[in-house]
Amino acid sequence: MSRKILVFDTTLRDGEQVPGAKLNLYEKLEIAYQLKKLGVDIIEAGFPASSEGDFHAVQEIAKCVGNTDTVMITALARAVEADIDAVYNSIKYAEKPLIHIVLGTSNIHVEKKFGKSKNQILNLGVEAVKYAKTLLPDVQYSTEDASRSDFEYLWATIEAVVRAGATMINVPDTVGYADPEEFGHLIYKLNDRLKNLNDTVILSVHCHNDLGMATANTLAAIKNGADKVECTINGIGERAGNAALEEVIMALHTRSSFYNAHTNIHTREIMNTSKLVSSLMGLDVQVNKAITGDNAFAHSSGIHQDGLLKSREAYEIISPTEVGLNDMELVLTARSGRHAVKNAIEKLGFTQLTDRQFEDLFVDFLTLADTKKEVYNHDLYAIVENYYTRH
């Protein structure tokens, strides 16, 4: 039977750590609503202890987007009570809140970053989980730099925090150092021990892309028993980024019998989500990026075009419509009415505009439409992004 894989999106936390990608409250809310529409299981909304603004944004997302049991809302804490309190106080309004605690397990983190002994760090982790469990039932523990950790110490940490009550264990390849075969093997061994210890605990992975292997490592982990994957839209994140949600999802979708696994993602929302994130964060998507790049479904050579005309299967493994491309795009002009413009803007994923905000945007639309024959989706993204930046 096909296994259900949980999808944890960290675009608003790891993704927002990209220099220059800072979002305001309205932009974060737009993205969080779109992630819910996309069908992710868990939204990591931020790092509330980092600033008052982040705390407030996480709180609003918990209240407005987390008002349903279809999506969990989480936020990140270091293994200290002040951080855990900040997470709890910002996410407690969600129907399904989850506290996420991170603490390193590699020698580099334990000895060089914290200057402590392995025992001291392990105890800090256990105390943090015990404290978080007094606040909420669902707690995720991330063993930062797991892929460069001594295996027996990594396992001792996992065993101790599970006994303390952690309900999800996340295994990060924090610096994108792992190789798929090696990472798959690590997950296989952890899964084997974890299932014997407590088979209700969810095993998760969080892969970075420093060597371009984040997607491959994530898929290798799924093959070897991971129940949950952490990703970002367009693969944005620290340094070279995180595993790209759209790549992992479309690999599972396209090769479903190979992976024997599925997710709740509505793949037709992928393109809108990608464009929304790219426009609000001001981060262009590389043209040849798998799934969401401009050229991902473009065929230019004569031989390929000829082959496609005879059979699409010849050069197309995914139909563009499956990721939301080629949905009918109305061409807007200076003569388009409010209804058509509102409809087009909402279809792009901007669903939280008030009537007042829309009236302002409509004026911006008419000003632009007067200067050119036709207004396309990319113009609408620019209009809304500009508007949010000004307000």
102 binds, among Zn ion, ligand KIV, none (CB under 5 to 8 A by kind): ligand KIV
Rounded-to-integer distance, Cα 306 and Cα 310, Å: 7
138 binds ligand KIV (CB under 6 A): no
Please, which residue, 28 or 275, has the CB nearer to ligand KIV? Answer: 28
Among 9, 11, 14, 154, binds Zn ion (CB under 5 A): 14
385 binds Zn ion (CB under 5 A): no
Contacts of 355 (CB under 8 A, 6+ apart): none
102 binds ligand KIV (CB under 6 A): yes
Q: Which of the ranges 59-67, 170-178, 284-292, 304-312 carries the binding residues for ligand KIV, by CB under 6 A?
A: 170-178
Q: C-beta of 106: minimal distance to ligand KIV in Å?
A: 10
Rounded-to-integer distance, Cα 14 and Cα 50, Å: 13
- In the chain, % helix, strand, coil (3-state, to 5) comes to 50, 15, 35
Segment (H or E) for 208:
none
206 binds ligand KIV (CB under 6 A): yes
Rounded-to-integer distance, Cα 5 and Cα 164, Å: 25
Closest CA relative to residue 102, chosen from 62, 161, 59? 161
Rounded-to-integer distance, Cα 131 and Cα 137, Å: 11
Do the annotations mark residue 14 as ligand-binding?
A: yes
149 binds ligand KIV (CB under 6 A): no
142 binds ligand KIV (CB under 6 A): yes
Rounded-to-integer distance, Cα 195 and Cα 65, Å: 33
Q: C-beta of 334: minimal distance to Zn ion in Å?
A: 46
Cβ pair 73, 45 in contact under 8 A: yes
11 binds ligand KIV (CB under 6 A): no
Q: C-beta of 40: minimal distance to ligand KIV in Å?
A: 16
Q: C-beta of 136: minimal distance to ligand KIV in Å?
A: 18
Q: For residue 114, give both structure tokens.
A: 């914290």
Please, which residue, 208 or 275, has the CB nearer to ligand KIV? Answer: 208
**248 in the Ramachandran plot: left (φ > 0), alpha (ψ -120 to 50) or beta?**
alpha
* Triad 274, 90, 54: Cα angle to 5°: 55
Please, which residue, 142 or 263, has the CB nearer to ligand KIV? Answer: 142
Do the annotations mark residue 56 as ligand-binding?
A: no
* Lookup result for tokens 């087009």: 344
Among 11, 147, 174, 191, binds ligand KIV (CB under 6 A): 174
Do the annotations mark residue 206 as ligand-binding?
A: yes
Residues in contact with ligand KIV by CB under 6 A are 14, 76, 102, 142, 144, 170, 172, 174, 206, 208
Binding residues for Mn(2+): 14, 206, 208, 242
